[in-house]
C-alpha cells in the first residue's frame, strides 16, 4: 500500500477517533451535526472556535461537550466587564520566604479553554488571549511560559444583546479559525432533546472517549494530509479574491489562507481521506472566512452579509478539474464519487464548466 493509501494507520486513526468524539458530543447537542463536525475539524486543525448565536441554543453545551469528550485539562472563564487580563493569564506573586516572585498560572493554562460570553469583557481583557491563541505561550513580567498542546479556545458570544458588551476587535476575530452559529433546532430534534434531557443532566453520564495525547497525535497526522498544487493555488485564489471586492472594507488575511488550508486537511481526514478535494475547501470556506470580512457601509445598507460574499467568491473562482482514473475507496469499503464523498453523504452530481468536469459546490455549513 502506498504512503497515501487510505488504510494507512494515521488516517484510519483520525477517522475512527474523530467519529467517536463526534458521536459523544451529539449525545448532548441533538440535531446539529454540521456544527459538531465543524467543531471537530477545528480541533484537528489546531485552531480555535467562535460560537455565535442567540441565548439558549446550546453554545456553551457544545463547548463543554467537546471539552469533556477528551480526557485533558479543561477550564472555563466567565467573561465579565470587571475581568482583568491577569485573571486569564496568571499573575506573579511575591514570595516572602524566598524574596522572589512566583508565577501562578491562570485558567488559560489548560488544553481546552471555554470562554463564555467573551464579548462581555473589555478589549483590554480580550487582548490577553491574543498571544495565547497565536503563539501558544503567555508572557508575564518579561517571562514567557509555553502552553501545553493540544490547546484550543472555544469562545461563545451573543450577537443580539449589545448592552454591556464590547465587539471583538478584528485582530481577535482573525485568530479564531472558524465561527459557527447553531440556530434553533427543528421540531424532531427539539422533541428528542425534551425526551432525553428534560428529566436528567446529560453531562452526568458523559465520559471522555479520547485523551490529550491521542488528539495531539491525530493533529500531527492531519498535517500530513496531501494537498495538490492545483488545490493550494485554489485556496490562495479564493482568499485573495476577498481582498478585491468593492463590498468589503477588509478582506481575509494570509492567516486565513493558512487556516483554510489546515481546516481543509482536517475535513479530508474526518471523511477518511488522506488527500484534499475542492469540496473540503468549499465546505470550510464559510466558517473560516466569513467572520474575518468587514463590510463597507454601502454593503450593510444593501443588506449584504459576509456569507453572501463568500458564496459569490466560491461561485466566481474556477474550481480545479476533477482527476481522471478510478475513484478511491473509503475506509468502509464504499466507492465515493469524484468529490471523495460517499454517494449517500454527497448526493450532488458533477457539473460541466467550459467542457471540463468539475466538482459542484457543497451546501455551506452553518
Predicted local confidence at residue 57, as pLDDT: 85
Q: How confident is the model at residue 284 (pLDDT cuts 50, 70, 90)?
A: very high
**104 domain residue, yes or no:** no
* Domain end call among 172, 195, 224: 224
Q: How confident is the model at residue 97 (pLDDT cuts 50, 70, 90)?
A: confident
pLDDT tens by residue, 149-182: 889 999 998 887 667 788 888 888 999 999 998 8
**84 domain residue, yes or no:** no
**139 domain residue, yes or no:** no
Question: 3-state DSSP call for residue 301?
Answer: helix
Number of domains in the chain: 2
Predicted local confidence at residue 352, as pLDDT: 38
pLDDT tens by residue, 208-252: 999 989 999 999 999 999 999 999 999 999 999 999 999 999 999
Q: Is the pLDDT of residue 354 over 80?
A: no
Predicted local confidence at residue 322, as pLDDT: 66
The mean pLDDT value of the chain amounts to: 83
**200 domain residue, yes or no:** yes
Predicted local confidence at residue 199, as pLDDT: 74
Taking CA atoms, 83 is separated from 46, 89, 120, 247, in Å, by 27, 11, 9, 36
Length of the chain: 366
Q: Is the pLDDT of residue 1 over 50?
A: no
Q: Which residue has the cell 460574499?
A: 309
Whole-angstrom distance, CA of residue 229 vs CA of residue 238: 14
User: Does 275 share its domain with 313?
Assistant: yes
User: Does 274 share its domain with 343?
Assistant: yes
Return the bridge partners of 155, or none.
Answer: 50, 115
Question: What CATH number has the domain bearing residue 257?
Answer: 1.10.8.80
**130 domain residue, yes or no:** no
Containing structural domain, residue 238? 226-366
* Domain end call among 202, 224, 246: 224
User: Does 212 share its domain with 289?
Assistant: no
**143 domain residue, yes or no:** no
Predicted local confidence at residue 328, as pLDDT: 53
How does strand 137-140 pair with strand 143-146? antiparallel
pLDDT tens by residue, 120-132: 998 888 888 988 9
Q: Is the pLDDT of residue 325 over 90?
A: no
What are the residues whose beta carbons fall under 8 Å from the beta carbon of 116, sequence distance 6 or more? 60, 63, 76, 77, 78, 79, 155, 156
The mean pLDDT of 92-101, rounded to a whole number, is 86
User: Does 159 share its domain with 175?
Assistant: yes
Whole-angstrom distance, CA of residue 31 vs CA of residue 194: 12
Question: What CATH number has the domain bearing residue 9?
Answer: 3.40.50.300
Amino acid at each position: 500500500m502506498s504512503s497515501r493509501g487510505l488504510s494507512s494507520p494515521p488516517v484510519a486513526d483520525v477517522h475512527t477517533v474523530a467519529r467517536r468524539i463526534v458521536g459523544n458530543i451529539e449525545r448532548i447537542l441533538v440535531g446539529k451535526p454540521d456544527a459538531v463536525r465543524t467543531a471537530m475539524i477545528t480541533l484537528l486543525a489546531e485552531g480555535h472556535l467562535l460560537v455565535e448565536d442567540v441565548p439558549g441554543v446550546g453554545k456553551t453545551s457544545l463547548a463543554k461537550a467537546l471539552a469533556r469528550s477528551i480526557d485533558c485539562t479543561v477550564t472555563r472563564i466567565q467573561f465579565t466587564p470587571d475581568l482583568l487580563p491577569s485573571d486569564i493569564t496568571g499573575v506573579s506573586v511575591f514570595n516572602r520566604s524566598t524574596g522572589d516572585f512566583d508565577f501562578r498560572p491562570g485558567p488559560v493554562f489548560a488544553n481546552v479553554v471555554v470562554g463564555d460570553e467573551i464579548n462581555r469583557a473589555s478589549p483590554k481583557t480580550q487582548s490577553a488571549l491574543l498571544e495565547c491563541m497565536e503563539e501558544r505561550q503567555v508572557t508575564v513580567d518579561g517571562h514567557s511560559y509555553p502552553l501545553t498542546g493540544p490547546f484550543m479556545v472555544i469562545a461563545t458570544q451573543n450577537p443580539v444583546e449589545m448592552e454591556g458588551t464590547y465587539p471583538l476587535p478584528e485582530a481577535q476575530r482573525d485568530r479564531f479559525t472558524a465561527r459557527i452559529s447553531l440556530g434553533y433546532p427543528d421540531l424532531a430534534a427539539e422533541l428528542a432533546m425534551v425526551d432525553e434531557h428534560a428529566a436528567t443532566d446529560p453531562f452526568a453520564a458523559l465520559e471522555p472517549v479520547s485523551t490529550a495525547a491521542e488528539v495531539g497525535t491525530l493533529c500531527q497526522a492531519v498535517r500530513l494530509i496531501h494537498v495538490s498544487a492545483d488545490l493550494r493555488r485554489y485556496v490562495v485564489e479564493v482568499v485573495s479574491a476577498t481582498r478585491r471586492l468593492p463590498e468589503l472594507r477588509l478582506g481575509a488575511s494570509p492567516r486565513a489562507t493558512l487556516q483554510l488550508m489546515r481546516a481543509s486537511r482536517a475535513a479530508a481526514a474526518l471523511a477518511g481521506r488522506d488527500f484534499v478535494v475542492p469540496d473540503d475547501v468549499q465546505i470550510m470556506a464559510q466558517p473560516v472566512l466569513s467572520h474575518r470580512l468587514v463590510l463597507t457601509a454601502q454593503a450593510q445598507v444593501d443588506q449584504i452579509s459576509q456569507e453572501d460574499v463568500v458564496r459569490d467568491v466560491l461561485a466566481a473562482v474556477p474550481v480545479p478539474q476533477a482527476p481522471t482514473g478510478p475513484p478511491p475507496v473509503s475506509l468502509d469499503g464504499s466507492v465515493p464519487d469524484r468529490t471523495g464523498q460517499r454517494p449517500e453523504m454527497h448526493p450532488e452530481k458533477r457539473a460541466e464548466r467550459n467542457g471540463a468536469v468539475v466538482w459542484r459546490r457543497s451546501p455551506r455549513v452553518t
